[in-house]
Amino acid sequence: MQLLKIVTVLYINIYITVVVALTVMILVAGPTVLNPLQRSIAQQQQQPQQQPQQQQQTAYDAGKPIKDLSFEIDNVTFSHHTASVNGIQMHYVIGGQREPVVLLHGWPETWYEWRHVMPALAKNYTVIAPDLRGLGDSSKPLTGYDGNTTAEDIYQLLCYLGLDQKVYLVGHDVGGLTAYSYAASHPNNVSKLVILDIPPLPPSGFEDSVWWFRFHQTPDVPEMLTAGKEREYLSWFYRHAYNPAAITPADIDEFVSKYSAPGGMRAGFEYYRAFPTTVEQNKDHANVKLQMPVLALGGEYSHGTAALESMKSLATDVRGGIVPFSGHWIAEERPDFLIDELERFFSE
């Protein structure tokens, strides 16, 4: 009995000793073990959320990722952006100040077509140069390449930018088709319209006058034959100019990098496949002539006066003519001439 008491007291003393030891260990070690986590949580709660770093303004380099939002051309700052419009993500470049000028590029180019024109215009205007649906860094949907749909893309973009009122609108090639559709669909939103080297309502036989129209309209075959040879194929068009040196190898790299991306060539061909639909839409638009002033220019060694003659049947106030010493790539072959024409036309 005496032994049982001794053992019981011994166990009680051991238990108390262990409890005390553990308590001391927790009190002493606790701050070392627990405080880093507590300190981290506290720091996260107290630290203000970091703001995105401001992008550096660097010169635009062909093929440069969009992640560098701001860049310069001839010491004028522009920036890349995207907007959700009409079911797609549309990439656009913007810069300058005051009244808006919207520049719509052609095929097989991107917003970069306007690189020589943008800095001069940005001194007096806010320049917006989107990548059309399917081209450049914009989304590449399977459908929607007719003039009315691409015009709706631009309308929603300008609404997004708060510029759904009066704009100066310039379109080249397939961008000219979009520009005309926009002006016809939203005549009160366009101060002045410029169409470059494309007849929105083409004369009979126009589609057969150049071999690539029918080729591009053929389903699937152009994609199959140009896959892996995008640079070789597209270079033929860039060099088929009055002044082939106007589009340099670096410029070709920039364009090809976009068209060789998945879906890029197919999207470009879709504009040709949608061309008959666009023409029928334009015939409907022609029932009401445009009232805003229109400037229609064509390359001397390209479509000449085709744009001017076409627009005379579509608008009441039309002027224009031929761009001398230029092929189809007016903004690159004769940027000096085009800048003068645009500034004179806009300021009238």
Contact call for residues 193 and 294 (beta carbons, < 8 A): yes
Question: Exactly one of 91, 116, 285, 328 is catalytic; which is it?
Answer: 328
Residue 66: closest CA among 48, 91, 89, 84: 91
CA angle, residues 338, 185, 292, in degrees to nearest 5: 50
Question: Exactly one of 145, 155, 272, 301 is catalytic; which is it?
Answer: 272
CA distance linking residue 337 with residue 331, whole number of Å: 9
What is the rounded end-to-end Cα distance, in angstroms, of the chain? 120
Residue 98: closest CA among 73, 133, 123: 123
Question: Exactly one of 131, 153, 173, 251 is catalytic; which is it?
Answer: 173
Number of H helices, E strands in the chain: 13, 10
173 is catalytic: yes
- Amino acid 54 reads Q
CA distance linking residue 20 with residue 310, whole number of Å: 98
Contact call for residues 200 and 311 (beta carbons, < 8 A): yes
- Amino acid 192 reads K
Enumerate the active-site residues: 173, 272, 328
